[in-house]
């Protein structure tokens, strides 16, 4: 297989980046993906069984998607072709497919690696299907986005999705040691700075090697403070319209629901430092108050609306503190989704019995004809009833009484449950009477 830098006009003695020099020569050398390539790993099992299907690699940048695809071509004796969905249009795809067809006629298969495959539109993705089905290509796609949302069902049905993990500190340390061996010397960093460097890489092996390449040029041993001054900190990986957006708002919501104020603050800070719109966060935080706290603490919703208004008046960054305060309040508030569940149950009943009319006794009768039809007949004015409660039926006459709201024994809903039980007892007594 030709090397990445073996291109027409390129000298074999041309300097190569550290990340390319350390590219693994075999699958066993790949770091951090043992769940796929180790003993019993899914990809290793496919290779050992001699049955490699088309694949989609889903994972963050710098974890080995391209490298593994190249090594798969080596191990399966397939011709490796790499394209990027960003720079490839329909004419170029046709040329790739035609070359693969000719190659197949001559007895050589093709592994087509498509980087950023989610960037192709539906029609372009559909264009791969016949060539996958007749064996012209073995497709290996790579994406940082959730394939369930970004790739066609037809393509996914013909490929297996394999998840690649971000590199953990132990894997990054292995990679750093491999780089030091290649360079023949240790990084000129104090131990604390070395640990900080691994944090800066943020699970991205390529980023780590690029940072190390800069550090290897330093003459003196740097402290954490000196390293921070010399290196530009990488921006946190955060795509406001992609997976990370949905993953982090989910983490924030579940931390609030789980009554963990510290975790909730962390995820709020992650989203704000990533550039998320604070107004989006204000809206979602208010939703949390309604969905997960509800009537267990009616003041929670007001806290969120006040924080939202405060942000609108102050703007960033001062107004973000109001959002943090609201998140803390929600995390520590008593939790109940009883109102949310009751609403969903009522919606389901409304869809099922959507054409049933209200009982006639609770209908107004502004005309004589309507009175003759029985509208309003027998209605009991609750304020005149004993205890201010008549116990009449307010559901459609042909519909069994529904029970949707089940308050919990927490916070203010504990009092609401007492009231609900009281009215249920009165209703039962009145109905028996």
Strands of the 159-163 sheet, one edge to the other: 79-84, 110-115, 138-143, 54-58, 159-163
pLDDT at residue 13 in the model = 57
Region for residue 275 given its phi and psi (left: phi exceeds 0; alpha: psi -120 to 50; beta: otherwise): left
Quote the tokens at residue 350.
Answer: 């409304």
In which band, very low, low, confident or very high, does the pLDDT at 3 lie, cut at 50, 70 and 90?
Answer: very low
Q: What are the tens digits of pLDDT across the range 129-156?
A: 999 999 999 999 999 888 988 899 999 9
Please give the pLDDT value at position 311: 93
Retrieve residue 151's tokens. Answer: 């790739």
Q: Which of 2, 6, 5, 32 is nearest to 19 (CA)?
A: 5
pLDDT at 5: 33
Write the CA distances from 391 to 103, 325, 399, integer angstroms: 82, 43, 17
CA dihedral 128, 129, 130, 136 (to 10 degrees): 60
SS3 225: helix
Give the DSSP H or E segment for 160. strand 159-163
Confidence of residue 253 (pLDDT cuts 50, 70, 90): very high
Q: Is the Cα torsion angle 250, 256, 259, 260 positive or negative in sign? A: positive
Per-residue pLDDT at 237: 58
Q: What is the pLDDT of residues 21-60, one digit of tens each?
A: 999 999 999 999 999 999 999 999 999 998 899 999 999 8
pLDDT at 7 over 80: no
Q: Please give the pLDDT value at position 149.
A: 83
Task: Give residue 58's Cα distance to chain centre.
Answer: 12
Quickly state the pLDDT bin for 238 (edges 50, 70, 90): low
Distance from C-alpha of 330 to C-alpha of 281, rounded to nearest angstrom: 13
What's the rounded Cα separation, in Å, for the pair 147 and 57?
Answer: 9
284: tokens are 């979602």
What's the mean pLDDT in 101-120? 94
Kindly state the tokens that stand for 156: 């996914």
What CA–CA distance (Å, rounded) separates 215 from 176?
12
State the DSSP H helix or E strand holding residue 83, giving kind and residue range, or none if neither.
Answer: strand 79-84
328-386: pLDDT as tens digits: 999 999 999 999 999 999 999 888 887 788 888 888 888 888 888 888 888 889 898 88
* pLDDT value of residue 361: 85
Question: Tokens in use for 404?
Answer: 């949707």
Structure letter (DSSP) for residue 216: T
CA-to-CA separations, 260 to 249, 252, 337, in angstroms, rounded = 15, 10, 17
Residue 200: φ, ψ to 5°: -65, -30
On the question of pLDDT at 77 being above 80, the answer is yes
């Amino acid at each position: 297989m030709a090397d990445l830098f073996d291109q027409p006009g390129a000298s074999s003695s041309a300097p190569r980046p550290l990340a390319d020099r350390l590219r693994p020569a075999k699958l066993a050398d790949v770091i951090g993906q043992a769940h796929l390539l180790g003993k019993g790993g899914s990809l290793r099992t496919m290779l050992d069984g001699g049955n490699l299907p088309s694949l989609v690699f889903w994972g963050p940048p710098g974890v080995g998607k391209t490298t593994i695809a190249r090594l798969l071509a080596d191990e399966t004796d397939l011709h490796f072709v790499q394209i990027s969905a960003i720079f490839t249009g329909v004419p170029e795809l046709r040329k790739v497919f035609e070359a693969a067809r000719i190659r197949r006629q001559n007895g050589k298969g093709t592994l087509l690696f498509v980087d950023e495959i989610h960037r192709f539109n539906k029609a372009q993705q559909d264009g791969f299907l016949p060539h996958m089905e007749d064996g012209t290509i073995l497709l290996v796609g790579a994406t940082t986005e959730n394939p369930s949302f970004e790739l066609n069902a037809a393509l996914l049905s013909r490929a297996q999705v394999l998840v690649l993990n971000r590199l953990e500190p132990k894997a990054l340390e292995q990679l750093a040691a491999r780089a030091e061996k290649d360079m023949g010397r240790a990084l000129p960093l104090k131990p604390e700075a070395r640990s900080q460097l691994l944090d800066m890489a943020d699970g991205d092996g390529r980023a780590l090697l690029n940072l190390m390449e800069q550090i290897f040029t330093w003459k003196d041993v740097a402290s954490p403070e000196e390293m921070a001054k010399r290196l530009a900190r990488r921006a946190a990986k955060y795509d406001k319209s992609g997976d990370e957006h949905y993953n982090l708002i989910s983490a924030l919501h579940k931390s609030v629901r789980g009554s963990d104020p510290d975790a909730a603050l962390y995820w709020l800070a992650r989203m704000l430092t990533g550039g998320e719109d604070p107004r989006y966060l204000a809206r979602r935080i208010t939703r949390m108050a309604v969905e997960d706290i509800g009537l267990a603490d009616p003041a929670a919703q007001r806290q969120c609306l006040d924080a939202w208004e405060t942000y609108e008046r102050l703007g960033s960054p001062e107004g973000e503190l109001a959002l943090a305060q609201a998140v803390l309040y929600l995390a520590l508030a008593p939790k109940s989704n009883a109102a949310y569940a009751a609403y969903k149950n009522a919606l389901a009943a409304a869809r099922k019995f959507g054409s049933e009319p209200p009982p006639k006794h609770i209908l107004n009768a502004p005309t004589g004809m309507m009175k003759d039809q029985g509208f309003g007949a027998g209605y009991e004015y609750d304020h005149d009833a004993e205890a201010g409660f008549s116990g009449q039926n307010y559901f459609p006459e042909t519909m069994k009484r529904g029970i949707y709201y089940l308050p919990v024994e927490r916070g203010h809903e504990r009092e609401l449950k007492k009231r609900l039980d009281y009215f249920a007892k009165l209703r039962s007594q009145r109905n028996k009477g």
